[in-house]
Structure 1
Amino acid sequence: MTEMIEVNSLTKRYGNKRGINDVSFQVAEGEVFGFLGPNGAGKSTTIRLLMALLRANSGTASIAGLDVWQQSVEIKRLVGYLPGELALDPRLTGGQILEYFGHLRGGVDQAYLKQLIARLNFDPSRKSRQYSSGNKRKLGIIQAFMHRPRLLILDEPTSGLDPLHQQEFDRMLEEVRNAGCTVFLSSHILTEVEQTCNRVAIIREGQIVRVGLIEDLKDIKRHEITIIFAEPVSSEAFKGLTGVEKVDTLADGHTLHLSVQGPADAVVKAAAQYSVVSLNSHEPSLEDIFMHYYENDGQPVKEASHVVH
């Protein structure tokens, strides 16, 4: 499969401040790739390097086989880019801003543009200074999508959107993915990538800690198990069992809450030795997995190779 984005050992330093260090990953053509990390982890820095808005100290990056610094003009014709913060001329209306971007791209399909405006319930007649953060985000999404780019690079795309328009954005993303568009989506909201992305990278303090399929990341999840017994049961009966990381006894003395890494077979067999009223197993979301990477001084639960195809 052809690589749309290739990043190798990319490093950017801001004096004593952290940037990114030795970042490497590939994004295949037609893939929806999630780039995850908390604010300040290096997501936006990486994206600005890809868009040639910053110059790296070392390393290489290419889009569609083109060097991101040497051939940035050609690359911008292929890309729909939504920055984390969209700088808008406060004197212009939303429609004038979209017209300006349309001219930069050599013209756009006006029917498709009107469709995007309607889908996001965006008012292009108002001055940009009058827009809420949500409406500014809608404007940014529309300008990124409107020329049907081969690659979408979206930095925190749903920030400021209400739930209804987040759902509409998800539908738009699914449509462009089905049409063969490649999507590179930066986010700190893991639930939004769980439904849309093929693969996910997690970046922490400027370094990639894991890249893998959504399913690969779920493999490292913990199960949260709550067992209610007919009679009080000591937590000692479950400590030390395979996979059990933590056992808490609730105030009633009849209920145990366990955090289990991997299969829960040993816990179920141990519980079967007592009279069980109920057993509930909750599989944490991708968001919980992500937070687990930042526990214990940020050491990842399980290392993986930086590139997983």
Structure 2
Amino acid sequence: MTPAIDTRALRKDYGRRTAVRDMNLTVETGCVYGLIGPNGAGKTTTLRMLLDIIRPTSGEVRVLGRAPRAGGPKLRRRIGYVPGELRLEGRATGRDLLRHYAEISGPVEPGAAEELAERLDLDLARQVRTLSKGNKQKLGLVQAFLHRPELLVLDEPTSGLDPLVQREFLQLVREAREAGQTVLLSSHVLSEIQQAADRVAVLSEGDVVAEGSVSELRLTAIRHLRGRVDAESAPGLRSSLLALPALREVEVAEDGRFSGVLDSEPNALLKVLAGYRVQDIVIEEPDLEESVLALYGQEDDRG
């Protein structure tokens, strides 16, 4: 099956500054793919090149099997897009604006706009210019999902939304995947990526520094360790734990309570603890946020 998105050595330069650096990215059809990274990592620039809003300096890109530049309006009608900086103004009501979008994008099921608006708690009778930032963002989401496009490109889509609406948005993303749609989701809200994405690319300074499933990326993350041994073992345990190169921030109390941060799989740690009377131990599941921060740190060290 042809990938929904495929880039080869995609690059974008602005004078001497490189925003996207020879990016190779493949998004399979029917999956939710997350792009994460800090501001300036190249996420928005990448999305804009996919949609032919800006042109790459070099490299190749295919979206739904077509080059964006050659695909024209026919290709764009197969895509739903929420930009990172959504600007909606005017005296038209939300309902009128969505009616206009429906005429441009193609067939829309009767009542689709009203159903989406109700799920996102959006009043379509209000003029767009009177809407808050959060309600404008809801309107942008409705227009993107409205015609059930083959591909959804969502750049920081939950900016300004309250937690309940964010949860409903994530449900919409899951339903889109179940319907066979592809979703490319750019976000700095890592919990969204953890809950929604099948695969993730981590961007830093225009480079993909890691790519894989959420579970694979979580394996690279640090783990928080805490536990307790009998008090008599505490002095010896401290020296044993300090000898482990993958364990840092080691603390051992007189009563035998201990904690630390583990940078690798726990095999070596468990071998050490096997020599003590362990009363309690918890090794917390790694968090994607810490994984990402660790990857950035590795990238910085290489630079």
Corresponding position of 1:237: 240
Corresponding position of 1:94: 94
- Select between 222-231 and 148-157 the one with higher mean Cα deviation: 222-231
Corresponding position of 1:36: 36
Deviation track 1:70-89 (CA, whole Å, cap 9, x = no partner) reads 22322201100111111212
Structure 1 residues 253 and 21 mapped into 2: Cα distance closer, same or farther (>3 Å)?
farther
Corresponding position of 2:143: 143
Aligned-residue identity in percent: 36
Counterpart CA distance in 2 for 1:252 and 1:135 is 55
- Any unmatched runs of 5+ in structure 2? none
- Any unmatched runs of 5+ in structure 1? 301-309
Corresponding position of 1:306: none
Corresponding position of 2:74: 74
Task: Output aligned runs, 1:242-257, within 5 Å.
Answer: 244-249=246-251, 254-257=256-259
| Equivalent of residue 270 in structure 1, options 257, 272, 277 | 272
Corresponding position of 1:114: 114
Is residue 224–residue 259 contact of structure 1 (8 Å, CA) maintained in 2? yes
Deviation track 1:221-263 (CA, whole Å, cap 9, x = no partner) reads 222111233323353211333x623142266674332222333
Q: Secondary structure at the match of 1:224?
A: strand
Structure (1/2) with the larger helix percentage: 2
Corresponding position of 2:22: 22
Is residue 228–residue 257 contact of structure 2 (8 Å, CA) maintained in 1? yes
One-letter amino acid matched to 2:273:
A
Deviation track 1:46-104 (CA, whole Å, cap 9, x = no partner) reads 00111111011101111111111122322201100111111212332222221221121
Normalization by structure 2: what TM-score? Answer: 0.92
Deviation track 1:263-307 (CA, whole Å, cap 9, x = no partner) reads 31322232243343422211221122111112256358xxxxxxx
Corresponding position of 1:303: none
Structure 1 residues 100 and 252 mapped into 2: Cα distance closer, same or farther (>3 Å)?
farther
Counterpart CA distance in 1 for 2:276 and 2:4 is 56
Counterpart CA distance in 2 for 1:199 and 1:229 is 39
- Counterpart check, 1:208 vs 2:211: no
Corresponding position of 1:161: 161
Counterpart CA distance in 2 for 1:34 and 1:228 is 39
One-letter amino acid matched to 2:19:
G
Q: Secondary structure at the match of 1:159?
A: coil
One-letter amino acid matched to 1:245:
L
